Amino acid sequence: MGKTSVTLGLASAALAAGIPTLVVDLDPHADASTGLGVRPEGRTDIGHLLKNARRGDIEADAAPSSWLSRAAGDASLTRPPVLDVAFGAAFTGIYDRPDLRARDLRRLSALLSRTSIYSLVLIDCPPSLNGLTRMAWTASNRVLLVAEPSLFSVAGTERTMRALDLFRTEFAPELATAGVVANRYRPASAEHRYRLDEMRSMFGTSLLSPVIAEQANWQQIQGAAYAVHHWPGEAARTAASHFDDLLRNVTDSGKLRSRASH
């Protein structure tokens, strides 16, 4: 758990750093699109774009995030910022089958191969490891996994790692694992400290720094469709700086496509 939250945190950091970014919301529930304050206004959702992968124009149909209105006054940005969203819809669910054919797995790569304006593409995935997540892996340079320091989440991340290894061998030898993000960490909890130690020994250097702590006002920030970098107060400022560090640690050149998993 925490895929969408980490995607949004990284998108917020990319916006603050002036990195032209596209968020692809592959989850039929479209939580990332909601958090990014997207208004479709006649544009085509990602599900229908995937259906028309040979001709679909993801740049034309991606909607600007409402976060941009608050970034306009950011004097540190030398160029007008770009944060677009290939927004999610229930229709995307037609591709979330366990038996998706290789031809279908390449639909997102085909759409992205015709974009040139983004330096970073973040793909938010549904919780299943079916067609949509595999389509994201096929289109990505790197995969970022997100886990809470809890028993089931750590076990789930190990399963995802194994599925990813199999997928890499069969379909995508170049695909790298960017690492595992520990999210929603509560340092005061003995259980969380124990699970974080377990993650350190299990994932070694793949466990990314920094660890993202549990944030008291996180739902409020997401519910208001705010970038964490634009939310007032010390707690949000600390969280924002952690996402700045995480973004730096998962991208070396900024020219990467990443995807979040559970």
Ligand X SMILES: Nc1ncnc2c1ncn2[C@@H]1O[C@H](COP(=O)(O)OP(=O)(O)OP(=O)(O)O)[C@@H](O)[C@H]1O
Residues lying near Mg ion in the complex (CB under 5 A)? 3-4, 31
In the complex, the smallest distance separating the C-beta of residue 31 from Mg ion, rounded to whole angstroms, is 5
Buried b (16+ CB within 10 A) or exposed e, 136-151: bbbbbbbbbbbbbbee
**Binding string to ligand X for residues 89 to 128, with x set by CB under 6 A, is what?**
--------------------------------------x-
Q: Which of 25, 27, 96, 244 binds ligand X (CB under 6 A)?
A: 27
Query: Applying CB under 6 A, does 214 fall inside the site for ligand X?
Result: yes
Q: Which of 134, 229, 242, 262 binds ligand X (CB under 6 A)?
A: 262
For residue 223, the partner it binds in ligand X, Mg ion, none, with Cβ less than 5 to 8 A by kind, is none
- Closer to ligand X by CB, 2 or 56: give it: 2
CA 253 to chain centroid, in Å, comes to: 17
Strand extents, DSSP E, the chain: 21-25, 63-64, 83-86, 120-124, 142-147, 176-182, 256-261
According to the 3-state scheme, what is the secondary structure of 194-212? HHHHHHHHHHHHHECCCCC
- Closer to ligand X by CB, 119 or 217: give it: 217
d(CA 158, CA 164): 10
In the complex, the smallest distance separating the C-beta of residue 249 from ligand X, rounded to whole angstroms, is 17
d(CA 116, CA 214): 36
**Binding string to ligand X for residues 130 to 169, with x set by CB under 6 A, is what?**
----------------------------------------
Q: Which of 215, 240, 242, 257 binds ligand X (CB under 6 A)?
A: 215
Q: Would you state the torsion angle of the CA atoms of residues 5, 11, 15, 19, taken in this order, to the nearest 10 degrees?
A: 160
Query: Applying CB under 6 A, does 195 fall inside the site for ligand X?
Result: no
In the complex, the smallest distance separating the C-beta of residue 30 from Mg ion, rounded to whole angstroms, is 9
d(CA 155, CA 60): 40
CA 76 to chain centroid, in Å, comes to: 25
For residue 83, the partner it binds in Mg ion, ligand X, none, with Cβ less than 5 to 8 A by kind, is none
Q: Are 78 and 35 in contact (CB under 8 A)?
A: no
For residue 183, the partner it binds in ligand X, Mg ion, none, with Cβ less than 5 to 8 A by kind, is ligand X
Residues near ligand X (CB under 6 A) are 1-5, 27, 31, 127, 183-184, 212, 214-215, 218-219, 222, 262
